[in-house]
Structure 1
Amino acid sequence: MFTGIVEEIGTVESVKAGAQSLELAIKAKTMLEDVKLGDSIAVNGVCLTVTSFTSQQFTADVMPETFHATSLRVLTRGSTVNLERAIAANGRFGGHFVSGHIDGVGTIISKKRVENALYIEIEYPEEFAHYFLHRGSVALDGTSLTIFAVDNKKLTISLIPHTQEETILAEKNIGDPVNIECDLLAKYIERMLHQKKEEKTSTITMDLLEKHGFA
């Protein structure tokens, strides 16, 4: 579990690419302070497992499902990435619940500066529209953000100066992909409501209709 508060910007040192997989080596500092094999680190919002590490970098594998479902496949040597360690049980919770499981990939369609804020408009897959609401939460490339405007095709977020400096989002250009994780609580609520609807539907059977004279 993560919070969406980016701890460090790392740099991709190497990419070993398979047909549908990757092995990433990422240069970092904060991530390596207490790293252990098997630790979870969010890379641009994608939960990856540390498979090896040195004093200057760590490696992680990207499996085919993650390769196709996220923007990690476009990373090259020198790419910068948002990094966050899994939250400790005694840690402070500063963002929102972020699982590191990406729902889809959006595309930056506009950027605009307003005073000290940077407004970024992102087009997203329409099937996610019901998860987004004005002033709701979303994780973009692993960064916990507030939605400032939304419709059925795009959403707008505003980056304060700190977020512009401490994440890679401000560096991105129009046309660049962005990993999107919808609000985890919204997804759980949707699932529970769907299950309740199924339960109600499943209680109406032919035997029940015949018993009460409806069939």
Structure 2
Amino acid sequence: MFTGIIQAVGTISAMQPTGGDMRLRVETGKLDMSDVALGDSIATNGVCLTVVEFSNHHYVADLSSETLKRSGFAHYQLGQKVNLEKAMLASTRFGGHIVSGHVDGVGEVLSVTQSARAWEVWVKAPDELAKYIAEKGSITVDGVSLTVNGVDGAKFRLTLVPHTMQETNIGTYQAGTKVNLEVDVVARYLERLILGDKAAQSSAGKEISLAFLAEHGYLR
């Protein structure tokens, strides 16, 4: 489990294809590796990866075909900057929101414009994720816990303060940049809960329609 508060920006230094999936090496920059052990989790651009090898300055992790399909890692290159966060402790200050490190899809940056000392970033999410994105709700973008400040269909607006721009890879964003998105986990569980007993049916869970909500008393 993570909070979406980035601890360091790392650099991808090796990407080794291994029969349909990939082994990744990340140079960790200023990330404190002194308490890391084999099997620990490190969120890498929002993807929860398991450490299989490490030193004071790097770690190695395996990426499954599912991870490559769901995230932007399939398109990353050597030298790519990635946001890093170690898994939270029970004593960790909870400064962001609940982040699982399970990416839901890949979005695309539409524009980056300055507004006073802040930056406004518009992102286009995959259409199937639009229903989970609400104004003033939380969303994880490349592992960063952010507040949605505007919604227009599947597009949403973020407002980034200078600290966030400096301490994450968001400062490198431009129109066309692909980003890993994880929607608020609470929205996902609510969707499943609303299905009730129908959740056990194999065809359930694909879409909740207005007719379904009305039938179960959620609409009048």
* Superposition TM-score, scaled by structure 1 size: 0.88
* Letter aligned with residue 165 of structure 1: Q
Q: In structure 2, what is the equivalent of residue 36 of structure 1?
A: 37
Cα deviation code 1:160-197 (max 9, x no counterpart): 01100011012122111100000011111111111256
The DSSP-based 3-state class of the residue aligned with 2:11 is strand
Segment of structure 1 superposing worse, 175-184 or 187-196: 187-196
Figure out how many residues of one structure are paired with residues of the other and give that number: 199
Q: In structure 2, what is the equivalent of residue 143 of structure 1?
A: 144
Deviation at 1:153, TM superposition (A): 2.0
Task: For 1:163-202, list aligned pairs within 5 A.
Answer: 163-195=164-196
Deviation at 1:77, TM superposition (A): 1.6
CA spacing shift, 1:198–1:184, aligned 2, 3 Å: closer
* Letter aligned with residue 162 of structure 1: H
Segment of structure 1 superposing worse, 24-33 or 154-163: 24-33
Q: In structure 2, what is the equivalent of residue 5 of structure 1?
A: 5
User: Do the aligned residues in 1 keep the contact of 2:112 with 2:173 (CA within 8 Å)?
Assistant: no
Deviation at 1:126, TM superposition (A): 1.1
User: Do the aligned residues in 1 keep the contact of 2:50 with 2:62 (CA within 8 Å)?
Assistant: yes
Counterparts of 1:110 and 1:146 in 2: how far apart (Å)? Answer: 17
Deviation at 1:19, TM superposition (A): 5.7
Counterparts of 1:198 and 1:80 in 2: how far apart (Å)? Answer: 40
Deviation at 1:148, TM superposition (A): 0.7
Deviation at 1:130, TM superposition (A): 1.4
Counterparts of 1:73 and 1:19 in 2: how far apart (Å)? Answer: 14
Identical-residue share of aligned pairs (%) = 41
Deviation at 1:198, TM superposition (A): 5.5
CA spacing shift, 1:151–1:20, aligned 2, 3 Å: farther
Counterparts of 1:6 and 1:198 in 2: how far apart (Å)? Answer: 35
Counterparts of 2:194 and 2:152 in 1: how far apart (Å)? Answer: 23
Deviation at 1:152, TM superposition (A): 1.7
Q: In structure 2, what is the equivalent of residue 128 of structure 1?
A: 129
User: Do the aligned residues in 2 keep the contact of 1:20 with 1:67 (CA within 8 Å)?
Assistant: no
Deviation at 1:33, TM superposition (A): 2.1
Task: For 1:1-215, list aligned pairs within 5 A.
Answer: 1-18=1-18, 20-28=20-28, 29-195=30-196
Counterparts of 1:11 and 1:130 in 2: how far apart (Å)? Answer: 33
* Superposition TM-score, scaled by structure 2 size: 0.87
Counterparts of 1:132 and 1:20 in 2: how far apart (Å)? Answer: 32
The DSSP-based 3-state class of the residue aligned with 2:195 is helix
The DSSP-based 3-state class of the residue aligned with 2:194 is helix
Superposition RMSD in Å: 1.4
Provide structure 2 residue ranges, at least 5 long, that are not aligned to the other structure. Answer: 201-220
Provide structure 1 residue ranges, at least 5 long, that are not aligned to the other structure. Answer: 200-215
Of structures 1 and 2, the larger Rg is shown by 1
Counterparts of 2:23 and 2:98 in 1: how far apart (Å)? Answer: 27
Counterparts of 2:171 and 2:99 in 1: how far apart (Å)? Answer: 21
Deviation at 1:31, TM superposition (A): 4.3
User: Do the aligned residues in 1 keep the contact of 2:165 with 2:171 (CA within 8 Å)?
Assistant: yes
Counterparts of 1:154 and 1:135 in 2: how far apart (Å)? Answer: 14
* Letter aligned with residue 142 of structure 1: G
* Letter aligned with residue 78 of structure 2: R
The DSSP-based 3-state class of the residue aligned with 2:179 is strand
